[in-house]
A and B are shown apart, each in its own frame.
Chain A
């Protein structure tokens, strides 16, 4: 079993079978639809994994190809972690919380973009160093 997609596909097929039996057996729509939806979701993920696996195999490894940026910490995530519960609770307690949370969310997303750009620069530098004689 070389591909990571195989167990996902097996799981999708197995619950697809149980969903098919339930469609035949059950007069109720929701239970069968839930199970079918689950099978479809896992099948889509399995397909995405299979495609990525195939692309990774086809891609010839170049200099620095194995380099991967690993962040040690992320301040932007703290902003997201504050923003999401605030906005959620704001759905009940008031619009002001949604607005505050939304502002912090934007700050957090901006910070994430900065972090990702910094990582890409670091990868590029590492690749240039690997190319250097």
Chain B
């Protein structure tokens, strides 16, 4: 495919208005990572407050604001945009496209994320503070009587803008997979990562508009009232919210598991194991994850408990297939245990804890016991932090040479990995115990019986902060004193490794290699392996 380029803009124009998918993706990632640091500071405040029983740093009201903005920032402004941004950068490269579909919408997606984030955080400068009703903003807690002030409105607008941003980015990625594939790139020759992005976009398209509806109704409720009145009103809000709120967990998971699949296949020097089963499992996983949202609402007593419990438990089938494929890829592979592989294995082990604790709370009697306790906090931090964030770092160390043309420092990478592993487990594992024993979430004060485990958890948070500092140091050092990387330093399997590092404006200067499977570069290196795959 040839392209016609408009005249290039100057540097300011290239910074703020470039429609190059790689530039847009890097800006979305940078924005998301800034919000990650901001949300991380809030997390440190939470853990500092919980270091001892009683009120140390803040009172309960300020604490409500801090944990609400921490959760909102991490989900709406960090993990979701980050997951989609990785797709915006790499999906066009992996399908052999010169450009993303609908590049202007991708640019708009970035700017709406910036606008949404700033709008949400502007709440700190209002009289009543920012949104303080958790990342869920359940009605009637979030109505005008119970949460007065401008900050809550700004929170609603911020969520809406960030949600539209996610929708636009997902539409671009989906459009690229559907309309921009290179000749020969059939659906069953898409890479594992591209498949994971495809199903992620489907979840975004189904779930995100419903959140927009929920936020619009919440706004009308706050302005005029009457929307969620009556016996079923608050449950209707919860249904709308969780119809978005559970699939978004998989929006924050699938892209990262796809990236881990690429890392494991490359570092095991083996073709990805069970590709077709993996694709089928992804589709099943996607459908089931759309159908389980009300397990968050078991304690309301107004959901079809058997159905949602059955669907939630059924998630273990596609989840198990994906795990089997990842382990099967490593089995008998010639494994290079570099930093990306370490983070990938860390993801597999730690997400297992998050996933299995999810099966546990998919059971209604057990869910009733641990509902709204720190057990839930431990569960979702094991899936999102000890899981998805580790997978993000695997992807980060893997693709950094492609994006920048230079290597990260291995020593600092291992230090980052070690500190983050210690920090994540020290922070979140104790939460299972004091949560199971009855410590409720979202409280600034607690019974003294939970002191020791809370202190361990707070010390773990300090380790995480050190790990993030090591990571930032690695990025700064690597950019300041560059160690140039070749175009394919890891002997990758997919098309992004067939172009220069970083890729040129239209992605590929040379003709693409023949595409006869989902691992065209491996085919070129190992023709015998290609024959066996056929």
Is B205 part of the binding interface, using a Cβ–Cβ cutoff of 8 Å? yes
Bound together, the chains give a CA A26 to CA B150 distance in angstroms of 39
From known contacts A68-B4, A77-B111, infer whether A42 and B236 are also in contact, taking CB-CB under 8 Å: no
Bound together, the chains give a CA A4 to CA B180 distance in angstroms of 11
Residues of A within 8 A of B16 (CB): 78
Bound together, the chains give a CA A38 to CA B1 distance in angstroms of 34
Q: A68 to B188, Cβ gap below 8 A?
A: no
Partner of B239, one of A34, A49, A122: A34
Which of A45, A73, A89, A91 has the most chain B CB atoms closer than 10 A to its own CB?
A: A73
Q: B290 to A70, Cβ gap below 8 A?
A: no
Partner of B290, one of A35, A52, A88: A35
Q: A72 to B178, Cβ gap below 8 A?
A: no
Among residues of A, the one whose C-beta sits closest to the C-beta of B110 is: A81
Interface of B is mostly: helix
Is B58 part of the binding interface, using a Cβ–Cβ cutoff of 8 Å? no
Residues of B within 8 A of A89 (CB): 119, 154, 157
Chain A interface, number of residues (Cβ within 8 angstroms): 57
Bound together, the chains give a CA A25 to CA B187 distance in angstroms of 35
Is A132 part of the binding interface, using a Cβ–Cβ cutoff of 8 Å? no
A119 CB to closest chain B CB (Å) equals: 7
Interface residue tally on B, bucketed by range: 35 or more
> B residues engaging A (CB < 8 A)?
1-9, 13-14, 16-20, 98-99, 103-104, 107-108, 111-112, 114-116, 119, 150, 153-154, 157, 160-161, 164, 177-179, 181, 186-188, 198-199, 202, 205-207, 210, 219, 223, 236, 239-240, 243, 283-284, 286-288, 290-291, 294, 302-304, 306-307, 311, 505-506
Complex A-B, nearest 10 residue pairs according to Cβ-Cβ distance, in ascending order:
A81-B111, A14-B287, A85-B115, A18-B291, A26-B304, A38-B206, A73-B17, A4-B178, A1-B187, A70-B3
A sample of 10 more A-B contacts (CB under 8 A), given A67-B2, A70-B98, A75-B17, is A2-B187, A8-B202, A19-B291, A31-B303, A49-B178, A69-B3, A70-B6, A72-B14, A73-B9, A119-B4
Interface CB pairs A-B, < 8 A, 15: A18-B311, A25-B306, A28-B302, A28-B304, A31-B243, A38-B290, A69-B4, A73-B18, A74-B107, A77-B108, A77-B111, A78-B16, A81-B111, A89-B157, A123-B4
